[in-house]
Amino acid sequence: MISMKELAQHCGVSVATVSKALNDQNDIGESTKTRIKEAAVELGYYPNAAARSLKTNRSYNIGVLFVDEANSGLTHEYFAAVLEAFKVEAEKQGYDITFINSQIGTKKVSYYDHCKYRNVDGVVIACVNFDNPEVIDLLGGDIPVVTIDHIHENCSSVLSDNIKGIQSLMQYIYENGHRKIAYIHGQINTAVTKARLTSFYRFLESHDLYIADNYVLEADYLDVSQAMAYTRELLDRKDPPTCILYPDDTALIGGLNEIRARNLKVPEDISIAGYDGSRISQLLNPKLTTIHQDTATIGMQAAKKLISSIEKPKTTFTEQIIVEGELLKGESVGKATI
């Protein structure tokens, strides 16, 4: 590892100029900043963490609050991919990652207290119960926060474009002749579900479609058994749907199992569509019709926004950053047989 002095000599500038560039100060040109930062990466220059912390009064440590009630942990492909992209961007900007929980050793503490104990500069919150009083306290505290897929007035959020995602799925399903469309959606108390349901009903309204209330069912995200049970319920009806939309690709597998148990074929006998665009969705036979969420951009934008809130609190706006997904047409939605 080289020293700051050696980096300055390599770039043909003073040590003071290198320091200003690496601390993103405004009294040197952008081209000089960029050249010095690129050289630092190329030559493997890393500022001494303790010295940097003393100088800036920051720990360069970001907390991650991830509490998955489905108990899938970081095997949850969507959030695992988002947090990996977040980690890559944070590390690129010189920050380390610490997972936040409700314990220090054997002592139970609040999320906020754990953040203070770990001396984090900011926190990204993903996949938690936002009605939890401890989460509410953290959101209302003095630590910069960015949320993933949840809107809160006190902080910025980064969200997949769920409205456009459902609209794209519904348009494709509609173009294939389907009019009897069932929707097994996720928990209604989440911003994600609210946006998707609103988009679903807007599409029905704009296309003069009537869907019976018992075609729209609430289940937990990632819950294979619930999706299987609701698929059974839908297919047992006198007037079953020709297409079923699931809350995510994982839950869809439960529906697919029920369909196959009845010796029905997808999409010849019934069409199905998922959400997330997970890797497994494109390995199944048939490939799923789904929305691929841009996890790399979601994670990167969340890291950039949080670090901006940490380093430039007076000039960083609180905002919602919406990231578009992509329709993967796959092979699980076919022409309706009415």
Q: Check residue 114 and give its pLDDT.
A: 93
- Going by pLDDT thresholds of 50, 70 and 90, the confidence category of residue 49 is low
CATH fourth-level superfamily of 61-159+295-324: Response regulator (3.40.50.2300)
- Going by pLDDT thresholds of 50, 70 and 90, the confidence category of residue 239 is very high
Q: Would you state the CATH architecture of domain 162-293?
A: 3-Layer(aba) Sandwich (3.40)
Selection from 98, 97, 101 nearest residue 67 by Cα: 101
Interatomic CA distance for residues 183 and 204, integer angstroms: 12
How is residue 228 written in tokens?
Answer: 């299987």
Interatomic CA distance for residues 20 and 14, integer angstroms: 10
Structure confidence by residue, pLDDT tens digits, 202-218: 999 999 999 999 999 99
Residue the block writes with tokens 């929305």: 291
- Sign of the C-alpha dihedral, residues 235, 241, 243, 248? negative
How many residues would you count in the chain?
338
Q: Check residue 59 and give its pLDDT.
A: 85
Q: Which helix (H) or strand (E) holds 147?
A: strand 145-148
CA distances from 47 to 9, 25, 68, 115, 196 (A): 16, 16, 35, 24, 45
Residue 74 has pLDDT above 60, yes or no: no
Q: Between helices 15-22 and 4-11, what is the axis angle to 10°?
A: 100
Cβ-Cβ contacts under 8 Å for 191 (sequence gap 6 or more): 149, 150, 151, 159
Residue 54 has pLDDT above 70, yes or no: no
How is residue 76 written in tokens?
Answer: 């949850």
Task: Specify the pTM.
Answer: 0.81
Please, what's the b/e burial string for 180-196 (b: 16 or more CB within 10 A of its CB; e: otherwise)?
A: bbbbbbbbeebbbbbbb
Residue 44 has pLDDT above 60, yes or no: yes
Selection from 297, 279, 302 nearest residue 127 by Cα: 302
Beta pairing partners, 103:
108
SS3 186: coil
Structure confidence by residue, pLDDT tens digits, 153-169: 889 999 999 999 999 99
How is residue 90 written in tokens?
Answer: 């944070």
Cβ-Cβ contacts under 8 Å for 105 (sequence gap 6 or more): none
Residue the block writes with tokens 């196959």: 260
CA distances from 278 to 101, 232, 250, 290 (A): 27, 24, 8, 9
Domain boundaries, the chain: 4-47, 61-159+295-324, 162-293
Interatomic CA distance for residues 220 and 214, integer angstroms: 17
Cβ-Cβ contacts under 8 Å for 49 (sequence gap 6 or more): 60
Averaged pLDDT for residues 132-152 = 94
Contact 293, 160 (CB under 8 A): yes
Q: Check residue 128 and give its pLDDT.
A: 82
CA geometry: angle 260, 71, 273, nearest 5 deg: 35
SS3 314: coil
